[in-house]
Amino acid sequence: MHDSFEALIGLEIHIQLRTATKAFCPCPVDSFALPNTLTCPVCLGHPGALPVANRAMVEHAIRLGLAVDASIHPASTFSRKNYFYPDLPKGYQITQFHDPICTGGRLDIELDKGRTQTIRISRIHMEEDAGKSLYNSDGIHLDLNRCGVPLLELVTKPDLGSPAEARIALAAVRQLVIYLGISDGEMESGSLRCDANVSVRRPGGAVPTTWTELKNMNSLRNVETALTREIERQVTLLRQNMFIEPCTFSWNDEANRLVATRSKETTSEYRYLPDPDLPPVEVSAALIESLKATQPELPTARRERIMNRYHLPAYDVRILTAEKSLADYYEQAASHLRRKTPEAFRVLCRWTTRELLHAIKEQSSSPEHPVPPGHLAFLVDNIVDSTLTVRTASEVFSVMVRERKHPGDIIKKQDLLQISNPERILDVIETILDRHPELVQKFLSGKTALRRFFIGEAMKATRGRANPSMVARILETELEKRRSRA
């Protein structure tokens, strides 16, 4: 950050909910449907059509509120946010303005070097999505399937002091909604969208009255980059004693820059009015208690449980639990291990967070894991039992990913089991030492670094299958015998 200025950043995070139907009508929610095939008079705003609030949307809002220790109100109301845009056929958006379902709450984020920070939450409210404008060479096309899709908007206080903190906070919210099962959290597809309000001030100065808003940031990286650019722009203006105009910027990912789109709106411009067609949402204490009792395991609790149950380092556990699907995979694989020992759990963790993650990135187009959990557990069992060397296991894993075969079939077909027979290893070592008598003499004369050469030759002769510790032990014995005969 700049020494003479500090940033104040607040986020508005829009979370598309995982529900079967839309927020106020029975139309299905399906992002892969043909354009304009999932609409009805309610979500298109035809005269006389009456909306009915989706119960699943309300329950998802309560679950998120419980997860962040927000106050959940027994009654909340819907308003109409009035504005014109081509993909908003009703001319207004149903949202919650005066009486949101949740207020307050906190989000604890982990910074570097073990530091944590608490971000205050202002509110969580329910609303419906607008349609989608598709910009093509022949003009603008409208897809109204998304009209009425249920959203939650989580608004933070301006407690974030840097673009990096904003990125971490957004990642934490994304992780939370995925663990809750209320959203898939995919930013690239628009299931999770983030706007940011940002201003800068002298350290310890008054809270600024002028803010700019950043929109259209569709990745964690873009959020950090866009905020960095805007903070630099504001600092430059303030150093020149220039006034910062309140305006809205859109992030252009292709051009890697911010584009001013309009002056920043005020709430009065939207003419918020109570929605006359929707009664207040009433939330009973019994419903809150029921949802609290069935709340899924959240990220922090899962990290602690996995770390204690599987005897894993905190760093590895953070990688494992960053994505719920990876944590699920690890625990499924762990349940398949023959020997459920701390060593086996740690080896499985290394293969999950390294080789498996690398394979997942290589096949980024597929949502499925490239290796079934039981197959990876079988491979790890053979590593822990010293049936396979790590080098051979890597070769087997590559075939598992490429050909989708069980590791047992690969090992059997290619005869890859580790050689742990002392007599076989002794034969290999004697052959190598007899082949290099001059190097043996140099070793006996004090060039002990040649030990690595002999071990390497033994591993090469056995195609990496020889037990490394047994090779080292038998080699040492044979070299001592030759020293005594010299």
Quick one: pLDDT at residue 366?
61
Nearest to 187, CA basis, from 198, 174, 177? 174
Quick one: pLDDT at residue 47?
92
Which two three-digit tokens encode residue 288? Answer: 């809150």
- pTM (two decimals): 0.85
> Which of 112-126, 146-160, 265-279 ranks highest by mean pLDDT?
146-160
pLDDT tens for 425-470 read 888 888 999 899 888 888 888 888 888 899 888 888 887 778 888 8
At residue 384, does pLDDT exceed 70?
yes
End-to-end CA distance of the chain: 69
The angle at the Cα of 59, spanning 53 to 64, to the nearest 5 degrees, equals: 125
**b/e per residue, 293-306, with b = 16+ CB within 10 A?**
eeeeeebeebbeeb
At residue 62, does pLDDT exceed 90?
yes
Percent helix, strand, coil in the chain (nearest 5)?
45, 20, 35
Arithmetic mean of pLDDT, 4-12: 94
Arithmetic mean of pLDDT, 130-139: 87
**Count of positions (residues) in the chain:** 486
Quick one: pLDDT at residue 462?
82
Arithmetic mean of pLDDT, 16-38: 96
DSSP E strands in 182-256: the ranges are: 192-201, 212-217, 247-252
Quick one: pLDDT at residue 67?
98
Helices (H), 40-101: 55-67
At residue 370, does pLDDT exceed 80?
yes
3 state DSSP class of 107 = strand
pLDDT tens for 182-231 read 999 999 888 999 999 999 998 878 878 789 999 988 899 999 999 999 99
Quick one: pLDDT at residue 428?
87
Which two three-digit tokens encode residue 303? Answer: 């990290």
At residue 365, does pLDDT exceed 70?
no
Cβ-based neighbours of 266, under 8 Å, separated by 6 or more: none
Quick one: pLDDT at residue 112?
83
Domains of the chain by residue range = 6-291, 297-414, 422-485
The answer to whether the CB of 217 falls within 8 A of the CB of 182 is: no
At residue 1, does pLDDT exceed 60?
no
At residue 364, does pLDDT exceed 70?
no
The answer to whether the CB of 223 falls within 8 A of the CB of 196 is: yes
The answer to whether the CB of 210 falls within 8 A of the CB of 180 is: no
Q: Is 245 exposed, middle or buried (0-12, 13-18, 19+ CB in 10 A)?
A: exposed
The answer to whether the CB of 197 falls within 8 A of the CB of 211 is: yes
> Which CATH number applies to 422-485?
1.10.10.410
pLDDT tens for 287-315 read 999 999 999 999 999 999 999 999 999 99
Tell me what percent of the residues of the chain surpass a pLDDT of 90: 65
Tell me what percent of the residues of the chain surpass a pLDDT of 70: 97
Average pLDDT value over all residues in the chain: 91
DSSP E strands in 24-100: the ranges are: 71-72, 75-76, 79-82, 92-95
Arithmetic mean of pLDDT, 416-428: 78
Residue with tokens 């904003």: 166
The answer to whether the CB of 161 falls within 8 A of the CB of 7 is: yes
Nearest to 393, CA basis, from 351, 423, 451? 351
Arithmetic mean of pLDDT, 356-381: 87
- Confidence tier at 267 by pLDDT (50, 70, 90): low
CB atoms within 10 A of CB 61: 30
Which two three-digit tokens encode residue 247? Answer: 């305006």
3 state DSSP class of 108 = strand
- Confidence tier at 2 by pLDDT (50, 70, 90): low
